[in-house]
């Protein structure tokens, strides 16, 4: 099996090999089941996604067939191959570009409130105009920007 199969292909591979139920509802999160709030995923330095244990511990997911939300998120990452090398590499590149942009912004606006700068970036990366595409690595950007990203998403009525 190729190590870098896309989500649906990897899920099908898992089902065909008996590692995932043919009806995976409750065993993994479908994209439309990921709650808007709280953000359930965070990222390791190597770009691997992992459950945000604090957020997961306080947020039960309806229909979850695992003992807790942390396990559900962890199994979603595993069964959808979200931690494959291709995605980790691409996330590292995206995060490096994001860090560079934040550093440049801070240099350009010395003495400015860091939270205000991050909120400004969140407004840039998460525009209200639906014609403007959001970042390919939305959850990574959201995680890195932290509370200013959450504030931006709440102010625009983000529903997932």
Are residues 96 and 59 part of one domain? no
Q: Give the chain's domain count.
A: 2
Are residues 45 and 22 part of one domain? yes
Are residues 21 and 57 part of one domain? yes
Are residues 93 and 73 part of one domain? no
Residue 16 lies in a domain: yes
Q: Give me the mean pLDDT over the 41-58 stretch.
A: 95
Are residues 100 and 68 part of one domain? no
Residue where a domain terminates, one of 56, 79, 102: 79
pLDDT at 4: 67
Q: What angle do CA 160, 105, 43 make, to 5 degrees?
A: 40
Residue where a domain terminates, one of 28, 50, 79: 79
Which residues constitute the domain of residue 128?
89-155
Q: How confident is the model at residue 22 (pLDDT cuts 50, 70, 90)?
A: confident
Q: Give me the mean pLDDT over the 73-92 stretch.
A: 94
Length of the chain measured in residues: 160
**Mean pLDDT across the chain, nearest whole number?**
91
pTM of the predicted model, to two decimals?
A: 0.86
Tell me the pLDDT tens digit for each residue of 89-145. Answer: 999 999 999 999 999 999 999 999 999 999 999 998 999 887 888 888 999 999 999
Are residues 151 and 101 part of one domain? yes
pLDDT at 65: 96
Q: How confident is the model at residue 62 (pLDDT cuts 50, 70, 90)?
A: very high
Are residues 103 and 44 part of one domain? no
Residue 33 lies in a domain: yes
Are residues 101 and 72 part of one domain? no
Residue where a domain terminates, one of 53, 79, 105: 79
Residue 2 lies in a domain: no
Are residues 75 and 13 part of one domain? yes
Are residues 17 and 71 part of one domain? yes
> Residues with Cβ < 8 Å from 117, sequence gap 6 or more?
102, 105, 106, 109
* C-alpha separations of 159 from 94, 112, 142, 155 in Å: 24, 31, 14, 11
- Is residue 72 within 8 A of residue 88, CB to CB? The reply is no
pLDDT at 136: 84
Are residues 102 and 74 part of one domain? no
């Amino acid at each position: 099996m190729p190590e870098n199969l896309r989500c649906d292909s990897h899920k099908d591979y898992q089902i065909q090999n008996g590692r995932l139920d043919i009806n995976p509802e409750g065993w993994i999160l479908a994209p439309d089941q990921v709650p808007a709030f709280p953000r359930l995923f965070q990222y390791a330095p190597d770009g691997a996604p992992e459950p945000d244990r604090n957020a997961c511990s306080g947020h039960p997911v309806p229909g979850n067939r695992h003992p807790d939300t942390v396990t559900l998120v962890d199994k979603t990452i595993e069964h959808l191959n979200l931690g494959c090398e291709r995605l980790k590499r691409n996330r590292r590149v995206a995060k490096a570009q994001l860090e560079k942009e934040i550093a440049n912004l801070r240099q350009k606006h010395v003495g400015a409130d860091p939270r205000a700068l991050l909120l400004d970036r969140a407004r840039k990366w998460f525009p209200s105009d639906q014609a403007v595409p959001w970042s390919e690595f939305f959850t990574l950007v959201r995680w890195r920007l932290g509370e200013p990203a959450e504030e931006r998403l709440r102010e625009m009525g983000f529903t997932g």
